[in-house]
Amino acid sequence: MSGPAVMFEILAANQAKLAAFYSQVFGWKLQYDKEGYGYVHFPAAPRALMGGLGQAQPGVTGWGKGITFYLEVANLEATLATVVASGGKVAVKPVSIDGYHFAMFEDPEQNLIGIILPFSDTT
């Protein structure tokens, strides 16, 4: 199969503030290029990737039209607590569906981001 997700971007109104948030929550270390774009390089690791296409449900948090990406975490509740302590807010409390467990938060600029526990490739 072709077309796996290999990169994401979060464009910020206040790059320094958002960089501090993601560094506090996830420990990201940004490497800035000469124009000031901050890259996060994740270590290579074999893991299952999953994507999906669904029908938008206007007015239902987490189901609005658009794009959401999910970051793998070891503990949903602990990550959400760090999100809140760092200036974000919980958008969707932990949910289990179709064999995986996830939650969603809004960062300080109201970007909706998913977090997900590790899962196995079921295909």
Provide the pLDDT for residue 120: 67
Which residues, in sequence order, are bridge partners of residue 89? 106
Q: What is the pLDDT of residue 62?
A: 85
Give Cβ neighbours of residue 71 (< 8 Å, ≥ 6 apart): 26, 113, 114, 115, 116
Identify whether the C-beta of residue 103 lies closer than 8 Å to the C-beta of residue 93: yes
- Beta carbons of 90 and 81 less than 8 angstroms apart: no
What is the pLDDT, as a whole number, of residue 3? 83
pTM of the model: 0.89
- Set out the domains of the chain in order of their start, with CATH numbers: 15-42+49-116 (3.10.180.10)
How does pLDDT run along the chain (123 residues), one tens digit per residue?
A: 778 888 899 999 999 999 999 999 999 999 999 999 999 999 888 888 888 889 999 999 888 888 899 999 999 999 999 999 999 999 999 999 988 999 999 999 999 999 999 886 544
